[in-house]
Structure 1
Amino acid sequence: MHAYEKFGDVYIVDVSPGNLKGIISSFIVVDNKVTVIEPGPAKEYSKLSKALSDLNLRPEIIVATHVHLDHAGSTGHLLRDYPNSIAYIHPKGVKHVVDPSQLWEAANKFSKLLADNYGKPISADEKRVLHVEDYSEIKIGYHTLKFVYTPGHASHHMSILLYPENIIFTGDSAGGIFNFKNGKVYAITSPTPFKPIQYLESLEKMKTFNPKYIAPTHYGIHDNGTEYLKIGIERTKIWLDIISDDLQSGIDDVEKITEHLMNVDEDFRKAVNENIQFFTKGYLLESVMGMINAIKNGDYKK
């Protein structure tokens, strides 16, 4: 059983922490210039490395949607092991790929559980870590990569469109889509410091490309790309409004707020009921907290 699956010219590699499955994906685009989108966590680099070795592929292009440890953690490892490779990163993220020490320190403060599960990135040669402009493109052969800045989840976030298939790799800019026992579940990813207005603007911006497929890092590639972006907008607004109402009426208890969200968001209820501690604590509750903090900071007015 391989830890990867094929979708046209793209391989989806499962780089989820430890024995977990279907939580974090890394993508390999096979073309004249083999491209890795989302290197994944440093601690799980061996899974990506094995897939590249099994497929006899040597990446030349490395792209991370943003520099959080579960997305860009293995960038330095890939640059080390493939000396002809170049990494393309959002301008605000470049310094953190070159020297990840500040990022590692911040990640440990934010959540030791997540940092321990993702592992510590290694530094990279600054000459091989390049920044990309909004709407810029790179031709890798038959395929073209288009970079689109999508802040909100993080200031250093971008999404990547792959043509001609019209797949949008959304990182954390459009939530996650998981295949759980009870079916497909959409989950918001809005940890602190979440910027709701920018996040909604980014979803609208991505929608203008009318993507056929959506590939969130959490997890896989799915049909109905544009529909999922619309779901992202609707669901985010529902969450923001419910949390705003709760805070307005003096409800500040995370458990109570979570309960209210579970009552209106069936996907959220299903996700919590999966009872995967790493997922519930690491994604779902951090997303609720991110929205609470954003509203308290005045970043969203109903």
Structure 2
Amino acid sequence: MQHLTAHPDGILAVDSGYCRPGLAAIHLIIHHGRAAVVDTGTNASAPQVLAALAAAGIAPEQVLWVILTHIHLDHAGGAGSLMCAFPNAMLVVHPRGVRHMIDPAKLWEGTSAVYGAERAFALYGRLAPVAAERIVEANEGLELDLAGRRLRILETPGHAKHHICIWDETARAFFTGDVFGLSYRELDVEGRAFVFPTTTPTQFDPDALHASIDRLMSFHPEAMYLTHYSRVTEVERLAADLHRLIDTQVAVARAARGDGVARHVEILAGLEQIVREEAERQGWCLTEDEIFEVLRTDLELNAQGLGIWLDDCALRELTSA
């Protein structure tokens, strides 16, 4: 199966098919004939997930947990569809996300505001609700039992207030959603991964993100499983790069002048310059056009998120004066 990658410790990465190959991974944890699904991709991702489970010898009835790192739709848009397919599974989501899984209307409104309604529908389709009695709140410290394998929930804000990471004690690894950034395999250099922070709308908080990364590193993980895209090691080096690049992006945003479109264009140009400098630092083999083809959407969303963060900072300063 071209869209399936097997990792150590019974972990499979399924390409969700979101926008392009290698953009978003859905992770399956297989243990003693039972399975957990971490993030769900979109409605269109369900056939790939079911096929991957079948290839691993897992029937839909053997899926016990569907866990969402957060409720942005590239991570959670297919949750309702998959819950229909998994009759014995419980959906695990941050308490802030529970009501949006029961009634996705406001979640859809927020996504449409970022992408536009037509583009949002093309990307995600119609969102299916999940019955309240099938949802478990992912509170800090919650432990899930996967046939004797312990999965622990950590609250990890910074990318979003409703973000969690999942500590897999057996694999000595975290499933990090977007908190440990983006790492696309096209940018690997001889197996050496690169990672880039995501500051997408609307709840980016650099101080909280720094703290969440430090908290993950306090567990001394051997690997991180990112939604964008899958397994990375050398996590100490990557964590240092994340801290550096968060601060660099924040500095670009703070230096931008004006507001509205003019400020957005200036922030985006600053992010593009960061990428050029990283291309030289990391020794990427792609051309500049190819690099920007990989990162274009993320840079645009990062610029939007940084602009919203600047406006929030200004509002807080005004109200506290």
TM-score (norm 2): 0.84
Matched, 1:280 2:296: yes
Q: Which moved more, 1:221-230 or 1:30-39?
A: 221-230
Question: Which consecutive segments of 4 or more residues in structure 1 shift more than 4 A?
Answer: 269-272, 275-279
SS at match of 1:192: coil
The change in CA–CA distance for 1:17 and 1:243 in structure 2 (over 3 A counts) is same
The change in CA–CA distance for 1:115 and 1:213 in structure 2 (over 3 A counts) is farther
1:197 corresponds, among 180, 197, 207, to 207
Alignment correspondent of 1:110: 114
Mapped contact 1:143–1:163 kept (Cα < 8 A): yes
CA RMSD of superposed structures (Å): 2.6
Q: Write 1 or 2 for the structure with the bigger share of helix.
A: 2
Question: How far apart are residue 271 of structure 1 and its match?
Answer: 9.6
The change in CA–CA distance for 1:279 and 1:15 in structure 2 (over 3 A counts) is farther
Question: How far apart are residue 86 of structure 1 and its match?
Answer: 0.6
2:269 corresponds, among 234, 253, 256, to 256
Alignment correspondent of 1:206: 216
The change in CA–CA distance for 1:96 and 1:272 in structure 2 (over 3 A counts) is farther
The change in CA–CA distance for 1:50 and 1:276 in structure 2 (over 3 A counts) is farther
Q: What amino acid maps onto 1:145 in structure 2?
A: L
CA distance in 2, matches of 1:271, 1:296: 35
Q: What amino acid maps onto 2:296 in structure 1?
A: T
Alignment correspondent of 1:145: 151
The change in CA–CA distance for 1:160 and 1:235 in structure 2 (over 3 A counts) is same
Mapped contact 1:69–1:121 kept (Cα < 8 A): no
Q: Which moved more, 1:238-247 or 1:156-165?
A: 238-247
Alignment correspondent of 2:12: 11
Question: How far apart are residue 262 of structure 1 and its match?
Answer: 3.1
Question: How far apart are residue 228 of structure 1 and its match?
Answer: 2.2
Identity level (%) = 21
**Unpaired stretches in structure 2, ≥5 consecutive residues:** none
Alignment correspondent of 1:55: 56
Alignment size in residue pairs = 297
Mapped contact 2:154–2:164 kept (Cα < 8 A): yes
Q: Which moved more, 1:21-30 or 1:49-58?
A: 49-58
**Unpaired stretches in structure 1, ≥5 consecutive residues:** none
CA distance in 1, matches of 2:155, 2:287: 28
Alignment correspondent of 2:278: 265
Question: How far apart are residue 167 of structure 1 and its match?
Answer: 1.0
CA distance in 2, matches of 1:287, 1:29: 30
SS at match of 2:140: coil
TM-score (norm 1): 0.88
1:45-85 residue CA offsets vs partner (Å, 9 max, x unmatched): 22112212332313111101001111111111121111111
Q: What amino acid maps onto 1:204 in structure 2?
A: D
Alignment correspondent of 2:71: 67
Mapped contact 2:253–2:267 kept (Cα < 8 A): no
CA distance in 2, matches of 1:114, 1:189: 20
Alignment correspondent of 2:184: 178
